[in-house]
Structure 1
Amino acid sequence: MKPVLAAALASSSAVIAQQPASPLKYPEAHTVEQVDDYFGTKVSDPYRWMENVDSPEVKTWVDAENTLTRSYLDPIPGRDAIKSRLLALTDFERFSAPGRQGKRYFYSHNTGLQNQSIFFWQEGLSGEPHVLIDPNTLSKDGTVALNGMGLTDDGKLMAYALSDAGSDWVTWHVRDITTGKDLPDVIEWSKFSGASWTKDNSGFFYEGYERPDKLSKESSLKTANYFHKIYFHKLGTPQMSDPLVFERPDDKELNVGGSVTDDGRYLIIFMNRGTSPNNQITIKDLEHPDAATIKLVTTEEATFDPIANDGTYFWFKTTLDAPNGKVIGIDLKHPERENWKTLIPESKNSLDGLTMVHDTLIAQYLADAQSLVELHGRDGKLIGRYELPAIGTASGFGGKRTDTETFFTFTNFTTPATVYRLEMAAMKTTVYRQPKLKFDPAKFETKQVFFTSKDGTKVPIFLSYKKGLKLDGQNPTLLYGYGGFNISLQPQFAPSYVLWMEMGGIYAQVTLRGGGEYGEAWHQAGMKLKKQNVFDDFIGAGEWLIANKYTSTPKLAIQGGSNGGLLVGACVTQRPELFGAAVAQVGVMDMLRFDKFTIGWAWKADYGAPSENKEEFEAIYKYSPLHNLKRGTHYPPTLITTADHDDRVFPAHSFKFAATMQKDQAGENPVLIRIETRAGHGAGMPLSKRVDLTADEYIFMVKSLGMTVDLSQ
């Protein structure tokens, strides 16, 4: 252990306990007479002025709120010790699973405390590592981040995207991998984009919205984004010459994307409506560019994900008539639906991922939110189940249909990601890279329990904690969830989880409806008019933990980010007496105006359309966190976090929620907002900022829950 960390930990054996509350004087936030009419319902919006996030008055309010938050958090004993231990737990070597292009392998590596991981390439498995790109050198404060990359098939060129201060807007550059030098090509104002190269390295396809000369930078963090387009950039030509390859001028809400098949023959064009996983598919033959495109799927009734192709024959993963997913084969010579053939039928488990390596279909299922992997032949016949190291999460298994090897990572709540290599012909697995730990995993245990939600649905929770736990209701517990957009929460390692357990806490991760853990039916059970099921599941998890003596209300904290921030906001307004503390991160709090900013309109696929559909408005209005705060309510201690450059969930959501909650709060429990500067929704945030944020969240919960912490053990 480094001496400075050892010294800090030596001083951390002091008791950290709840301090007496004192009244807080919240910054002045004036109100305006703004009333909107939703299908005859008048809704007041007194803090509408906060939507002008760059105005002097908003900046003054933000500065005052940050000053108040720092004045509350900084004097609490133990924050430095928590931060030091978190840094120590984070200081371990981390590798991603490598991917091969040509004879070169590409991967990311972090020595431990680097703000951003560095990307490397090497010739062969044992070749000398060369730096591909070091995001830590892109800016002095670490707020310029690598946001995406696309490699040529031979591994000689790379297109890479940079984002500034956490924005979703990116700028593409092109690098000669052998020399490490950038070419003159620059693509600006791209968003929600990949870079997919042609087989001959002549250029790449990318996505964006309006051309740069039609979009002002001043409005870029707020303006709604419609009419997503695919362009092609030919190397050596200016961006303004890039031809428009595909657009849907008839439908402004379709997000589009293009991907070149491994053989270079086809461009697969995806069309999704907002955040819905369901999509349309159009295929363009790049060898015959003047030929008509094949409109393979023209409705959004299901998901269609191409896995691989052998000439005109394609393997697709789909939820068509199979909510848990299945595999079908389609020959473009006979693309009509009646000719589609089911190769791997739907299972009781959700088909979460699928790849094809060495002509073998590697099917990654979720069995009660844990990984289960099966191997199938190209005809779909089962070869067998692939045994994983333990209960946890396996991811990766990437590669091309003709590759002979693949790599994957395995992790769980107490196991950092270990990289494995699988030789397909011999089915031989070896550990490729394994981190050295700064803690003893044997001191902790994880189990999965099930409880019954309000409507009778069985819902699982993962519980991780120190061995020897006493069920006396006195354990500080951090309950975390998401519950939306078909996103699955699986067992994952994070140094912050281990720190929480070392502090004597229980980390509880609940598998909420709205996610994808049990397939599309589970997702649909927590969206639009059924969104309340998500909140009922989360509240039910808290009640179960209390009833079974794992914790009690004064010791129960809840946390969630983005859609999970909405979750925390809704549950705090619905059951404020149930929780001892709440941390709402970059949350969607104004559910009547989420569709007015940047990409928020895309979320209507999951939330509904409050301005367009009366029934959906009425359902949303009942749970919208901002609109369900009530004057004179005793809310638990609440910390709201956001960032001034968040152009995913517009920061005004958190601004308005914080100002309203501070006004409505009865009693002396604090309502604080922490606004990060030069940061966005979270992607690309440098490690230093992430550690500071976690330390603030944890010391807030330590004080709120009255925890006694000894980190010297």
Structure 2
Amino acid sequence: MAVTSRNRSAPPLITPEHDPHLWLEDVTGEDALSWVRARNARAEAELVDEEFIELESSIREILDASDRIPGVSRRGEHLYNYWTDAEHPQGLWRRTTLESYRTEAPEWDVLLDLDALSAADGVTWVWHGATVLRPAAEGEPWRHALISLSRGGSDADITREFDLVTREFVDPVDGGFSKPEGKGSMSWIDADTVYVATDQGEDAVTTSGYPRTARRWRRGTRLEEAEPVVSVEPDHMVAAAGHISTPGFERDVAVRVLGFYDSETLLIEGDELHRVEVPTDVRVSIHRDLFLFMPRTELTLLGQDFPGGSLVVADIEDFMSGEAELTPLFLPDASTSLQDVTATPSCLVLTVMEDVVHRVEAHVRISEGSSAWRREDIFTDVTGTLSVAAVDPRESEEVWITSEDHLSPSALHLGDLSGLLDGGRETHEVLKRAPERFDATGLTSVQRFATSDDGTRVPYFLIGSAELLAESSEAGPRPTVLYGYGGFEISMTPGYLAVIGKAWMESGGVYAVANIRGGGEYGPGWHRAALRENRPRAYEDFAAVARHLVTTGVTTVPQLACRGGSNGGLLTGNMLTQYPELFGAVVIQVPLLDMRRFADLLAGASWRAEYGDPETEDWEFMRSFSPYHLLQEGGSYPAVLLTTSTRDDRVHPGHARKMTAALESLGADVRYWENIEGGHGGAASPEQQARLNSVIHRFLQQQLR
């Protein structure tokens, strides 16, 4: 285990001009895959023992449990659900009624069996979702669906039309819509028309690898004949279009995504596009006759000022004519941020977070067309991390509420906001509760704060023995895993730790989650604080939490590991190379690590707004957080496990492969495991998920205990 910091004056092992491991970027090349298989075998020889097998079995039991809460979406009289279990690892798309769903054993009507489809096609199909078209007239059946399926879990997928009456895919020969495999989208306009964006053809994609053009495609015509609706420049991110089918408020909307945090919203009227005139960093949503504006930075609009992180509403027709009244429904403060907005016909439901604790408020419109609103705190007796979704935003005042925390399994509530409309109260009932998956006896979850290098107060959660985590505890240090992400304005909120509880905490381990800058815990300002040249603030925050865990007696350096994936893999890669003295072990999953080449690999160019553009002078600051280029001859590094997926077409597996090869050349204590399928999530089935999680937790057990 390393106990000395990186020598910042030593020359780097890898430079942009000298990269001996470029050949490992050949994702499916014979030599590269031979290298992968050899390292997989080496890692499994070290990790797969009796305890591993027991661990894998217990995790698989959790992932395959038949008493999980089936997540549902209502379309017409049915609740639709996608489901996996031991007998159906690729999954079933099925539906039931609300009446049946309320029972302990709902009667499910299976519409599509992905395991049978995979066997018939000779492809491991992974579910990417379905959209069901609302019938044009009352009484007509809900017939038309678009189903998206991915080969082995990649982001690239196919979309095919499915007939809910015949229970079959509609053959393109018979006029069925079918998007070829690739990155893109397809969505309904009406029964005979869709919006489609594909990556097929010359100059069809941006430098990020996403479609440049969204088109209107009519049934009975060839895809190549679909008429362009909106396009973006090659160096932008993606073009998209969609149809809003709310009766009486039907609209068609196009979006030019210029970069990860900048876009233009346009209303489609016939052959004309009318831009919504707001700055490109303002997120725009549409509900009935309203624009919802959510600025990322301070906004001046029609002579009024609003801070970043606000929610402002305006009448669409008035705004497009330049005469709108702007109504702020949420204004953030130093500890409070807006996390989500859900709409019912008469209410906007806001999920608000204060010091990483959720609450929910409803803003009730006094009358249709009115700019007057009434605010109500709702569901105050439902605690934990809350997720709220409209049951049917077109017609119903009902909402789904999911609640959970680190030690409490999720519960699904059905809420009704109709009582708010005449001055009464909302109601809710618990429909489902998930059972406990691990023994939480004697465990607790507490929130603490560390102080970063620049004095910033950084919250984090600790989950473990109540005796250990009590103030002035003398229980002694325990093996601890510190998890983090810190990017893309994504908040790390408490969620039930089913697998981690069983694999780690049940036997005495402590788990910590850091809410570092770069996330969205305190709104867009918390995110911007670690953007681009400020990225090191996220790493300083995480290191501060690691030190706090040691100085407060929770753990010791040899007993402390860090873990993160994707952008979190970049985080833990920087812990390995910049703060090796703080950790006994490091886990790096599906990571970004080579920041000199990231924008040239797969979807990397779309993240330049987050990290910078290495082809410009930005490289001068980016080199300071490019782990691949921070490795040094003579460096001392803690034990490290890197994992990725061959089928990950979002973050290139070459990042993890090359980092492993470089660490091996230094004689570092490194092991590597790559799933041949799985996409960016790292696994394409419960079996693969169990294997991946067992590899990670057995490594942690061996290193920290």
SS at match of 1:332: helix
Task: Quote the offset at 1:676 in angstroms.
Answer: 1.0
Q: Does 1:303 align with 2:283?
A: yes
- For residues 527-676 of structure 1, the aligned pairs below 5 Å read 527-612=531-616, 614=617, 616-665=618-667, 670-676=669-675
Report the Cα distance in structure 2 between the residues aligned to 1:337 and 1:541, rounded to whole angstroms.
49
Sort the Cα spacing of 1:63 and 1:621 in 2 relative to 1 into closer, same or farther, 3 A: same
Q: Where does 1:171-182 land on structure 2 (aligned, <5 Å)?
A: 171-182=158-169
Which amino acid in the other structure matches residue 201 of structure 1? A
- Matched to 1:119, the amino acid is W
- After superposition, what is the alpha-carbon deviation per residue over 1:504-561, rounded to whole angstroms, capped at 9, x for unaligned? 1111011011111111100100110100001111111100000000001111111100
Cα deviation for residue 454 of structure 1 reads 1.0
Mean Cα deviation higher: 93-102 or 566-575 = 93-102
Give the equivalent residue in structure 2 for 1:387. 380
Q: Specify the alignment match of 2:197 in structure 1.
A: 207
Which of 510, 513, 534 does residue 517 from structure 2 map onto?
513
Superposed displacement of residue 398, structure 1: 4.7
The 1:114–1:473 alpha-carbon spacing in structure 2 relative to 1, beyond 3 Å, is farther
> In 2, distance between residues paired with 1:416 and 1:137?
32
| Alpha-carbon spacing, 1:262–1:372, altered in 2? closer, same or farther (3 Å) | farther
Amino acid at match of 1:53: V
Q: State which of 61, 72, 82 in structure 1 corresponds to 2:55.
A: 82
AA partner of residue 193 (structure 2) = G
Matches of 2:40 and 2:476, distance apart in 1: 34
> Which one of the candidate residues 229, 244, 265 is aligned to 2:213?
229
Query: Could you tell me which of 117, 124, 129 is aligned with 1:148?
Result: 129
Change (3 A) 1:44 1:86: same
1:422-462 Cα offsets, whole Å, 9 max, x none, are 12224221111222334444542111111111111111111
CA 1:343–1:495 in structure 2 vs 1: closer, same or farther (change >3 Å)? same
Residue 246 (structure 1) shift: 1.7
Match of 2:288, SS?
strand
Paired amino acid for 1:493: Y
Stretches of structure 2 that go unaligned for 5 or more consecutive residues are: 2-12, 102-106, 136-141, 300-305, 366-371, 420-425
Q: Deviations over 1:666-699 (max 9, x none)?
A: 5xxx201111112321176211001001111111
Match of 1:293 in 2: 273
Matching residue's letter, 2:460: I
TM-score (norm 2): 0.86
Number of corresponding residues: 647
Choose the corresponding residue for 1:282, options 266, 271, 283: 266
Cα deviation digits, residues 279-330 of structure 1 (max 9, x gap): 2110113xxx23x221113642322233x113xx434444444322213113
215, 225, 240: which one aligns with 1:257: 240
Q: Partners in 2 of 1:279 and 1:271 — Cα distance? A: 5
Deviations 1:394-431 (A, max 9, x none): 34345314313221211211223221101222422111
Structural mapping, 1:62-211, within 5 Å? 62-75=36-49, 77-90=50-63, 91-111=65-85, 114-126=88-100, 128-140=107-119, 143-154=124-135, 155-184=142-171, 185-189=176-180, 191=182, 193-198=184-189, 200-211=190-201
Give the Cα separation in 2 of the matches to 1:560 and 1:575: 15
One-letter code of the match for 1:700?
F
SS, match of residue 268 in structure 1: strand
What is the aligned partner in structure 2 of residue 314 from structure 1?
291
Measure, in 2, the Cα distance between the counterparts of 1:192 and 1:366.
34
Q: 1:438 to 1:124 in 2, by over 3 A?
A: closer
Provide the rounded CA distance (Å) in 1 between the counterparts of 2:282 and 2:474.
Answer: 45
**Which of 487, 496, 499 pairs up with 2:499?**
496
State whether residues 228 and 252 of structure 1, in contact with CA within 8 Å, keep that contact through their aligned partners in structure 2.
no
Conserved? CA contact 1:315–1:330, under 8 Å: no
CA contact (8 A) 1:150 1:194 kept: no
Out of 484, 499, 505, the position equivalent to 2:487 is: 484
Measured against aligned partners, the alpha-carbon deviations of 1:653-674 in whole angstroms (never above 9, x if no partner) come to 11111111111245xxx20111
CA distance in 2, matches of 1:256, 1:430: 41
- State the one-letter code of the partner of 1:405: E
Amino acid aligned to 2:36: V
Equivalent of 2:24 in 29, 32, 50: 50
Q: Is the CA contact 2:90–2:114 (under 8 Å) kept in the aligned structure 1?
A: yes
Q: Quote the offset at 1:191 in angstroms.
A: 5.0
Per-residue displacement from partner, 1:193-243 (whole Å, max 9, x unpaired)?
Answer: 444322x422322322233x888xxxx9x9851552212333444433333
Structure 1 position 354 matched with structure 2 position 330: no
Partner letter of residue 229 of structure 2?
A: V
* CA RMSD, Structure 1 to Structure 2 (Å): 2.7
- Write the letter of the residue equivalent to 1:341: L
Q: Is the 8 A contact 2:594 2:655 kept in 1?
A: yes
Does the 8 Å contact 2:60/2:686 carry over to 1?
Answer: no
The offset of 1:145, in angstroms, is 0.5
**Would the aligned equivalents of 2:72 and 2:81 in 1 still touch at CA under 8 Å?**
yes
Query: Are 2:463 and 1:464 aligned?
Result: yes
Q: What TM-score do the two structures reach when normalised by structure 1?
A: 0.85
Structure 2 residue 46 is matched with structure 1 residue 59:
no
CA contact (8 A) 1:88 1:438 kept: no
Change (3 A) 1:260 1:163: same
Distance 1:656 1:440, change over 3 A: closer
* Residues 83 and 692 in structure 1, CA contact (< 8 A), matched pair in contact too: yes
Question: C-alpha separation between the residues in 2 aligned to 1:284 and 1:681?
Answer: 34
Q: 1:254 to 1:56 in 2, by over 3 A?
A: closer
Match of 2:418? 425
Correspondence for 1:4? none
Q: Letter of the aligned partner of 2:92 in structure 1?
A: I
CA contact (8 A) 1:150 1:195 kept: no
SS of structure 2 residue aligned to 1:365: strand
Distance of aligned partners of 1:63 and 1:441 in 2 relative to their CA distance in 1, 3 Å threshold? closer
Distance in 2 between residues matched to 1:571 and 1:115, nearest whole Å: 35
Conserved 8 A contact 2:645-2:683: no
Q: Is the 8 A contact 1:451 1:458 kept in 2?
A: yes
CA distance in 1, matches of 2:435, 2:15: 58
Q: 1:643 to 1:111 in 2, by over 3 A?
A: closer
Which one of the candidate residues 363, 367, 372 is aligned to 2:350? 363
Which amino acid in the other structure matches residue 661 of structure 1? L
| Secondary structure at 1:293 match in 2 | strand
Q: Deviations over 1:15-48 (max 9, x none)?
A: xxx9xxxxxxxxxxxxxx9974xxxxxx421212
Q: CA deviation at 1:627?
A: 0.3
SS at match of 2:581: coil
Instruction: Write the distance in 2 (CA, Å) between the matches of 1:683 and 1:643.
Output: 5
Greater shift after overlay, 618-627 or 423-432? 423-432
Measured in 2, the distance between the counterparts of 1:125 and 1:322 equals 45
- Tell me: CA distance 1:405–1:301, structure 2 relative to 1, closer, same or farther (3 Å): closer
The CA deviation at 1:83 is 1.6
Q: Distance in 1 between matches of 2:479 and 2:386?
A: 26
Moved more, 374-383 or 114-123: 114-123
Question: 1:174 Cα shift?
Answer: 1.0
The alpha-carbon deviation at position 372 of structure 1 amounts to 1.3
Amino acid across the alignment from 1:131: V
Q: Relative to structure 1, is the Cα distance of residues 201 and 171 closer, same or farther in structure 2, using a 3 angstrom cutoff?
A: same
Q: How far apart, CA to CA, are the structure 2 residues paired with 1:95 and 1:387?
A: 23
Q: 1:331 aligns with which of 302, 307, 316?
A: 316
Aligned-pair CA distance for 1:493: 1.8
Q: Which runs of 5+ in 1 are unaligned?
A: 1-17, 19-32, 37-42, 708-713
Shift of 1:179: 2.7
* Aligned-partner Cα distance in 2 for 1:195–1:415: 38
SS in 2 for 1:640: strand
Tell me the equivalent position of 1:28. Answer: none
